[in-house]
Amino acid sequence: MNVRRLKFWGWGYADEALDPDEVARVVARVTERLGVAGLEPVPEPRIEDLTLAPPRLSPPDSLAGICSIETYDRAAHTYGKSYADYARTLARDFSPAPDVVAFPATESDVVDLLDWADGAGAAVIPFGAGSSVVGGTEPAVGDGYGGTISMDLRRLDQVLEVDKTSRAARIQAGALGPGLEAQLKPHGLTLRHFPQSYEFSTLGGWIATRSGGHFATLYTHIDDFVESLRVVTPAGTLESRRLPGSGAGPSPDRLFIGSEGILGVITEAWMRLQDRPTFRAAASVLFDDFYEAAEAVRAVSQAGLYPSNCRLIDANEAAMTQAGDGSAHLVVLAFESADHPVEPWMARALECCADHGGRADDTGHLGGAAGAWRNAFLRAPFYRSALIRRGLIQDTFETAITWDRFPDFHATLMETAADAVRRVTGREGRVSCRFTHTYPDGPAPYFTFHGVGRKDALLEQWRDIKQAVSETLISLGGTITHHHAVGRAHRPWYDKQRPDLFAEVLIAAKKRLDPNGLLNPGVLVDPER
């Protein structure tokens, strides 16, 4: 189908092997910190070992050429990349597998596939590159459908038009990060949106899930980069106007941004771009007290400096990612510009840190801390399958909260997570925190937990921990997701978070655009059918 095959489980392409030495080093680092050794991996699942239920759907001849019922394709479109997905993969449970995987090459293929699905009573799950960690692309649609079609959009991968004057481009929704950047590079432009999943996620997926980029402040969210959208729905196709700003009614784009595939299939978007940065400054600052470090980040966030990086990494997480030696909390600062030297900005940000007891990082990590951290950040998803095969529980949860509530919120969540890991696994685990994004009114804290699980109960153990931390963060006023999306995994807490009447409005919108409820059933809302 001329898309490069992804691993059917784990991170990366099917033809990319992970360096065994790299894996060994990571496993050693994690197990050492957890005080265990000699964990042996269970065997890796193989496609040839899987038995999927026979497909319930058979594409019409006109669509057969863009559809697959191969076991590999069905298996590779069953799960995303969450801990729960990996646990079920290791249990060889592929019961949610789609009946058919479709690879539309044109927008009219998308229309035709929706028409076929409608006639067949099938559910359609829009699929970018499957990096969801919240079950957003899992064909678990409940009863009442004649089958499921995973619609993989990666063949729609072109930058169709570049407007260098306005710095914008019309890009198809199935373009992966590296592919779209490669097409923009000759124009000297960049989308500059680098989520951790960048290599294995698509523009359409970013828009549908309100993706957060790597940068800590200002222009980092995909929401702000969307200039206009084109969306195919079962009720027809709609396209918003290319405008730099508008006050004409509620924003049509904002309804589809974050709609997670329940209202339509995003096929293309005009995206705001940036010039490629040439001026850079980076520094890291050490703090003995975590909350003082948070105050420094708050000061920088409220100063109107807009660093590209302003990331607080607690001592535990610094050690785990080799960005520090574990003796201090770390604030990684960076400024970037395509236009002007950024030293005055950095100088002021460093003053804010010094005001709160920060000291220059002279542990040997100076300059290297950010690089070490960034490398660890990009490689981390590759390691998760190796860790879980050894019975290690490792997951993250992320949220956002206003500054006034942050210290209590953070302390309670750290304790809740540590307690849950201890209770569930019977021994101490590790919990750490960093900020992924910071705003003038609050941070987006991102928590990581590790524990030594039981290979025969990985899913149940994880669920118990996930339940505990999710309940706590929702009851304390956080959001169930800052940038991982809701999907199927976060539904119970999303339902507590969003106003009931807003859910009713979403249902009404869905009824109008997708009257037969074909699109991504189970995600965000449950309209009656």
What part of residues 492-521 is at the interface with its own copies (CB under 8 A)? 494, 497-502, 504-509, 511-513
Collapsed DSSP state (helix, strand, coil) of residue 380 = helix
Which one, of 82, 236, 78, lies nearest residue 150 by Cα?
Answer: 78
Query: Rule CB under 8 A: is residue 160 a binding residue for its own copies?
Result: no
Position among 20, 38, 186, 247 found at the interface with its own copies (CB under 8 A):
247
**Which stretches within 397-517 are classed as H helix?**
406-425, 458-475, 491-497, 500-513
As measured in angstroms, the least distance from the Cβ of 292 to its own copies is 14
Please identify, using beta-carbon distances, which residue of 298 and 450 lies nearer to its own copies.
298
Smaller CB distance to its own copies: residue 47 or 507? 507
Q: Which is nearer to its own copies, 271 or 323 (CB)?
A: 271
Q: Are 358 and 287 in contact (CB under 8 A)?
A: yes
Q: Is 203 in the site for its own copies (CB under 8 A)?
A: no
Q: Which of 166, 278, 327, 475 binds its own copies (CB under 8 A)?
A: 166
Binds its own copies by CB under 8 A, chosen from 265, 486, 489, 518 = 486
Smallest gap from residue 369 Cβ to its own copies (A): 25
Site for its own copies in 257-276 (CB under 8 A): 257-260, 272, 274-275
> If phi over 0 gives left and psi between -120 and 50 gives alpha, with beta otherwise, what is residue 281?
beta
In order of 221, 228, 399, 400, the CA distances from 270 in angstroms are: 15, 5, 29, 28
Q: Residue 514 in contact with residue 256, Cβ under 8 Å?
A: no
Q: Which of residues 311-350 bind its own copies (CB under 8 A)?
A: 337-340, 344, 348
Name which of residues 430 to 469 contact its own copies (CB under 8 A).
437, 439-444
By three-state DSSP, how is residue 497 classified?
Answer: helix
Closest to its own copies by CB, 108 or 475: 475
The burial class, CB within 10 Å (0-12 / 13-18 / 19+), for 303 is middle
How many positions of this chain bind its own copies (CB under 8 A)?
91
Q: At closest approach, how far in Å is the CB of 270 from its own copies?
A: 9
Q: Which residues pair with 68 in a beta bridge?
A: 101
Shortest distance (Å) from residue 277 CB to its own copies: 9
DSSP class of 186: G
**CA-based torsion, 259, 264, 267, 271: positive or negative:** negative
Q: Which among 516, 514, 491, 502 has a CA at the least distance from the CA of 263?
A: 514
Among all chains, which residue has been given the structure tokens 């033809």?
15
Residue 302 in contact with its own copies, rule: CB under 8 A:
yes
Task: Please identify, among the stretches 46-54, 115-123, 239-247, 454-462, the one whose residues bind its own copies according to the rule CB under 8 A.
Answer: 239-247
- Does 64 sit near its own copies (CB under 8 A)? no
Q: What amino acid occupies position 197?
A: S
Nearer to its own copies by C-beta: 161 or 325? 161
> Per-residue b/e over 258-289, b at no fewer than 16 CB within 10 Å?
bbbbbbbbbbbbbbbbbeeeeeebbbbbbbee
User: Which are the contacts of 224, defined by CB distance < 8 A and separation ≥ 6?
Assistant: 272
Backbone angles phi, psi at 256, to 5 degrees: -90, -25
How do 168-172 and 159-163 pair as beta strands? antiparallel
Residue number with CB closer to its own copies (306 or 377): 306
Going edge to edge, which strands form the sheet with 226-233? 159-163, 168-172, 265-272, 226-233, 236-239
Q: What DSSP designation does 405 have?
A: G
Paired residues of 395 in beta bridges: 449
Q: Give yes or no for residue 250 binding its own copies (CB under 8 A).
A: yes
Selected from 210, 384, 389, 450, the binder of its own copies by CB under 8 A is 210
254 is an interface residue for its own copies by CB under 8 A? yes
The one among 50, 159, 400, 414 contacting its own copies by CB under 8 A: 400
Among residues 97, 111, 122, 305, which is the contact residue for its own copies, using CB under 8 A? 305
Give the range of 61-69, 88-96, 372-380, 471-479 binding its own copies by CB under 8 A: 471-479
Smallest separation (angstroms) from its own copies to the CB of 467: 17
The nearest distance, CB 274 to its own copies, in angstroms, is: 7
380 scored as a contact of its own copies (CB under 8 A) = no
Among 402, 467, 475, 516, binds its own copies (CB under 8 A): 402
Closer to its own copies by Cβ: residue 85 or 336: 336
> Taking Cα atoms as reference points, which of 86, 7, 91 lies closest to residue 49?
91
Q: Which of 238, 380, 418, 476 binds its own copies (CB under 8 A)?
A: 238
Among 235, 378, 418, 457, binds its own copies (CB under 8 A): 235
